[in-house]
Chains A and B, each alone.
Chain A
Amino acid sequence: MAGGTGLLARARPRLAQRLALRRPLRGPQRRHRGAAAAQAAVTAALLLFTLLALPELLSLYYIDAMTQVAVYSVVALGLGVLVGRVGLVSLGQVAVLAIGAWVAARLLFATAQPYPLILLEAGLITMAAGTVIGLPALRLRGLYLALITLMLAGAITVVLATTNFPNGGHGFLGYNGGSVHIPAIRRPGIAGSDPAYFRYAVVVAALMFLLAGAHLRTRPGRAWAAIRRSEPAALAAGINTTFYKLWALALASFITGVAGGVLAGAVQYLYSIDFPTYYSITLLAVVLMGGAYSLWGAVVAGLLYQLLPALLHNWGVSADWLTIVFGVGVLQVLTTAPAGLAEQVPRDLRRLARLARRLGRGKEAGEVTAR
């Protein structure tokens, strides 16, 4: 019996290696190197285009919308990490975003610190808040965790509706009541205008994507993958599941908090009615539609969430149609395409191409036989 235990004890690190410590066999480094390089080149080109050309091409209306896209892509990224990588569904991410925006606004009014520092602080404070709130909730799993985040988000919304967002007042809350003159939330010195702030937001968003990407390619990412497959198996392989789940929650809260800081500077006036509880539900909808398993899915989600309403508004179509589409999208994704649009569209295109090739070949073959 004792020998058996010893064997098990010796076997443990090997299992751990297999599940979490060693790199996965079919990871990015085994992929064709040319394809990886091409992908990196495309990403870099897109980023450069977004930074340099896009603000010149778009009207101010769409620049503002694209700034929102940058912000919400990061929020979607945080939720995507939780849902797609770790398997934790949160129905309260917009409440976390509101916390980040609140903290950033308060700091921006209270201090003259440089903007990047404020963003970092907003991220860290939101991370602390998210982790403290999430720590007890992590004892729950699956459905119950999702529902408790919905409850917590509802509670946060009620608190925010009472305390309001800081608007240059004094005291801890910094709320000036119904003051006549409400000062705008300041922006960084180098990004005062809307196009400049858009570039700023894109750079911050890119940094957040890099941060998340770095996590996914290293040890935490592999631990999360193991947890998502099966928590008991991950536990048996020696992965500290609570620690890594908490880490995921901290990462998601951090980047959402930073996004909140960017949002504060983007809109410059914050109101609690801008963060209703059901936005968290729509956010989950777009994240599922965009695809929770890939980083591109977060960008798609951001575009769906912020650019589409702006487009529809410009075309004079009610944004309510979009809510309906999102609802149908959730049902469609959950029943047929769990990996979302970011995976489904390329796959369907490939299928279409294959079908076209086969049809073309079929026709040739048919002609040959006819001759």
Chain B
Amino acid sequence: MPGWQDFQPFIVSGLALGGVYALSGVGMVVLYQATGVVYLAFGAVGAMGALIAWSLTDAGAPGWAGWLACVAFGAVVTLAYGMVFGPALAKRDPLVKATATLGLTLVLFGLMDLLWTTSGGQARSITLPTDGSGFGIGQVQVDWTQVISLAVGIAIAVATGLFLRLTKLGTAMRAMANDREITATLGVPVRRVEAAAWLGCGVLAGVAGILLADLVALDATTLTFLVISSLAAALIARLRSITLTFLAAIVVGLVHDLLTPVQSLTNYRDMTPFVLAAVALLVLSRHRAIARSREEA
């Protein structure tokens, strides 16, 4: 069993990872609340945005242009998908809506493999200017990217929570989570509210893509399926509570990284989000039926 000393650096990296998971998880929860869509293409959108950012920087563009492009790509693709397929599938089962986003995932995934071939063994990486500099707490070196990741995670969670509670748009989103039809009857511009949710989710996908590409790896497959990890946090919160999503994301990130120095478990640490989500789902479902009765699929 490794000592306390060995764990310290992983607390920092775990918190940073948890911050990004929280950011992604919150984005997915908000979209699910407003539209009933579990956006499984979240990771693929972020990954492609990050690859675009890499290409731009590689071609000599300044770093900030790349990051902007990444966020803009996430926003545009997500909004476009939401506008085209959102209304078409609005009345279908949540399962159908989620499966349709898997279609988008496959399209983006194929495009990424086609445009940024991985077979050449060319290693890509995104470095943020905040990577190099940092400060030390005790003996642990903390770089600013890690601080930003956690800070953005916290900021997004708090801001989203306040937004849903205090603003008119946020209230409309919460109303739609309850009942789309009745909300529409009350005169809420349903389509516009949904568009706002898609846009917000897309922006978060872009931001998460850049941060994860820096923290984890710039690799299409890895980034695309990191969405499953952030989905785990959202699932633990039953796709409902922002606070729970945030906490769960931090726990998932921490547990994942804290297992790294443990010899016997280090190879299994990637299971953390899956196991936590599976256990949470099964235990929670014991007490309350979480799935509403299925409408005709």
Task: List chain A positions with a Cβ less than 8 A from chain B.
Answer: 87, 89, 136-137, 139-148, 150-152, 154-155, 158-159, 161-162, 231-232, 276-278, 281-282, 284-285, 288, 318, 320-331, 334-335
A-B contact pairs, 5 of them (CB 8 A): A139-B285, A146-B99, A276-B221, A284-B99, A323-B109
A179 to chain B, nearest CB (A): 19
Query: In the complex, are the beta carbons of A324 and B88 less than 8 A apart?
Result: no
Query: In the complex, are the beta carbons of B228 and A327 less than 8 A apart?
Result: no
**Across the interface, which residues of B come within 8 angstroms of A162, CB to CB?**
267-268
**Across the interface, which residues of A come within 8 angstroms of B99, CB to CB?**
89, 146, 284, 288, 330, 334
**Across the interface, which residues of A come within 8 angstroms of B235, CB to CB?**
144, 147, 151
B66 to chain A, nearest CB (A): 23
- Identify the 4 closest CB pairs spanning chains A and B, nearest first: A327-B106, A323-B110, A330-B103, A327-B107
B255-296 CB mask vs A (1 if < 8 Å, else 0) is 000000000000110110111011001100110001101100
Residues A321 and B96 in contact in the complex (CB < 8 Å), given A139-B282, A284-B102, A327-B106:
no
Query: In the complex, are the beta carbons of A327 and B104 less than 8 A apart?
Result: yes
Query: In the complex, are the beta carbons of B297 and A87 less than 8 A apart?
Result: yes
Closest to B266 in A: A162
Residues A278 and B224 in contact in the complex (CB < 8 Å), given A328-B103, A334-B99:
yes
Query: In the complex, are the beta carbons of A151 and B228 less than 8 A apart?
Result: yes
**Across the interface, which residues of B come within 8 angstroms of A155, CB to CB?**
271, 274-275, 278
SS class, residues of chain B in contact with chain A:
helix
Query: In the complex, are the beta carbons of B286 and A139 less than 8 A apart?
Result: yes
The total of Cβ contacts below 8 Å across the A-B interface reads 153
B38 interfacial by beta-carbon distance below 8 Å: yes
B143 interfacial by beta-carbon distance below 8 Å: no
Tell which of A136, A140, A143, A159 touches B94, judged by Cβ atoms closer than 8 Å: A143
**Across the interface, which residues of B come within 8 angstroms of A325, CB to CB?**
110
B69 interfacial by beta-carbon distance below 8 Å: no
A151 to B275, CA, bound (A): 7
A146 to B98, CA, bound (A): 9
Tell which of A136, A139, A232, A331 touches B100, judged by Cβ atoms closer than 8 Å: A331
Closest to A152 in B: B278
**Across the interface, which residues of A come within 8 angstroms of B290, CB to CB?**
140, 144
B232 interfacial by beta-carbon distance below 8 Å: yes
A89 to B94, CA, bound (A): 12
Tell which of B102, B231, B273, B297 touches A330, judged by Cβ atoms closer than 8 Å: B102
A232 to B295, CA, bound (A): 12
B188-215 CB mask vs A (1 if < 8 Å, else 0) is 0000000000000000000000000000
B61 interfacial by beta-carbon distance below 8 Å: no
